């Protein structure tokens, strides 16, 4: 195994989706995997490009978004360390990216050739089971978000969004959790499907209620409003 693939192997071992796999399977994955460092605002891929790679975020933050015919950007999700991008392209022919993906902060990504990964899935039942489990969790979370958007009022959506961002991108500080992404009011509005003016009003209300503190584009969830089991994802800088 060369030096680069040795480093990839080390990182795959620390990814929750693959930490239970034996070394033989990870070695196969490493044979067609590579790592790359992306700078702030650098595109990983653009919508309507051919989707031929599975991406695993080692550390950093990625933004998934789509731009319509009028040039309006809609943010669909933020990707946190350990997450896999590309589930929706498995076993499809001539598939193209539905979204664009850009690095919010400096981010390191493990890139795995999709065709080779699909072949490995067919050859290795353990990997197939692990991947299907992750896909199931992904779809369950997606359905939960869709249901939540239908039944929750805007302020509840905003609280839920802040807690979710704290879960995936939070850093523990004295007094609470700082969301380690700088967010504009428009980006927050896009995440929950409301106008910027409504988002501004609701953010001010949450500040007045003591749910969050705000310093420019940085938000801190106050300690007394955190869930007891909130888990802060590490950034795996050693990768």
Q: Are strands 33-38 and 107-113 parallel, antiparallel or unpaired?
A: antiparallel
**Tokens 């420019």 -> residue:** 216
Could you tell me the pTM of the whole model?
0.65
Is the domain of 53 the same as that of 103? Answer: yes
Name the residue among 59, 82, 192 with its Cα closest to residue 137: 82
What is the domain count for the chain?
Answer: 2
Is 232 among the domain residues? no
Question: Residues 78, 42: one domain?
Answer: yes
Residue 43 in domain: yes
Distance of alpha carbon 102 from the chain centroid: 11
Q: What's residue 139's pLDDT?
A: 67
pLDDT for 141 equals 67
If asked whether residues 12 and 83 sit together in one domain, one would say yes
Task: Count CB-CB contacts under 10 A for residue 79.
Answer: 24
Per the domain annotation, does 120 fall within a domain? yes
The residue from 134, 156, 178 where one domain ends is 134
Q: Which of 74, 66, 59, 76 is nearest to 98 (CA)?
A: 66
The token duo for 91 is 């076993």
For position 22, which CATH number holds? 2.60.120.10
pLDDT value of residue 149: 56
pLDDT at 43: 95
Question: Dmax of the chain from CA atoms?
Answer: 56
Q: Is residue 234 in some structural domain? A: no
Which residues fall within 8 angstroms of residue 236, CB to CB, at 6 or more apart? 11, 14, 58, 59, 81, 82
Among 134, 164, 196, the domain-final residue is 134
Does 211 reside within a domain?
A: yes
Asked whether residue 62 is domain-assigned, the answer is yes
**What CATH number has the domain bearing residue 177?**
1.10.10.10
The reply to whether 55 and 84 lie within a common domain is yes
Percent helix / strand / coil, the chain, rounded to 5: 40, 25, 35
Same domain, 105 and 203: no
122 in any annotated domain: yes
Q: List the helix and strand counts (H, then E) for the chain.
A: 7, 12
* Residues 35 and 108 both lie in one domain: yes
Domain that holds residue 153: 148-225
Chunked into runs of 10 residues, the chain (239 residues) has average pLDDT values of: 41 69 82 89 91 87 86 82 78 79 91 87 83 72 60 78 86 89 88 85 92 92 70 41
Decide if 230 is inside a domain.
no
């Amino acid at each position: 195994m060369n030096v680069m693939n040795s480093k990839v192997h080390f990182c795959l071992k620390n990814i929750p989706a693959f930490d239970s796999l034996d070394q033989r399977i990870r070695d196969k994955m490493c044979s067609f995997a590579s790592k790359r460092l992306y700078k702030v605002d650098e595109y990983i891929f653009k919508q309507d490009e051919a989707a031929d790679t599975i991406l695993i975020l080692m550390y950093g933050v990625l933004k998934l978004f789509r731009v319509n015919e009028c040039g309006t950007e809609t943010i669909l999700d933020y990707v946190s360390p350990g997450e896999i991008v590309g589930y929706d392209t498995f076993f499809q022919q001539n598939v193209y990216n539905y979204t664009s993906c850009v690095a919010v902060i400096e981010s390191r990504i493990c890139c795995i050739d999709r065709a080779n990964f699909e072949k490995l899935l067919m050859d290795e039942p353990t990997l197939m089971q692990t991947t299907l489990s992750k896909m199931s969790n992904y779809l369950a979370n997606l359905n939960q978000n869709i249901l939540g958007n239908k039944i929750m009022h805007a302020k509840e959506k905003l609280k839920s969004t802040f807690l979710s961002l704290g879960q995936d991108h939070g850093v523990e500080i004295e007094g609470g959790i700082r969301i380690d992404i700088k967010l504009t009011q428009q980006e927050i509005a896009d995440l929950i499907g409301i106008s910027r003016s409504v988002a501004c009003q609701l953010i001010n209300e949450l500040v007045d209620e003591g749910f969050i503190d705000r310093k420019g584009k940085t938000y801190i969830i106050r300690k007394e409003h955190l869930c007891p089991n909130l888990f802060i994802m590490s950034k795996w800088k050693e990768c």
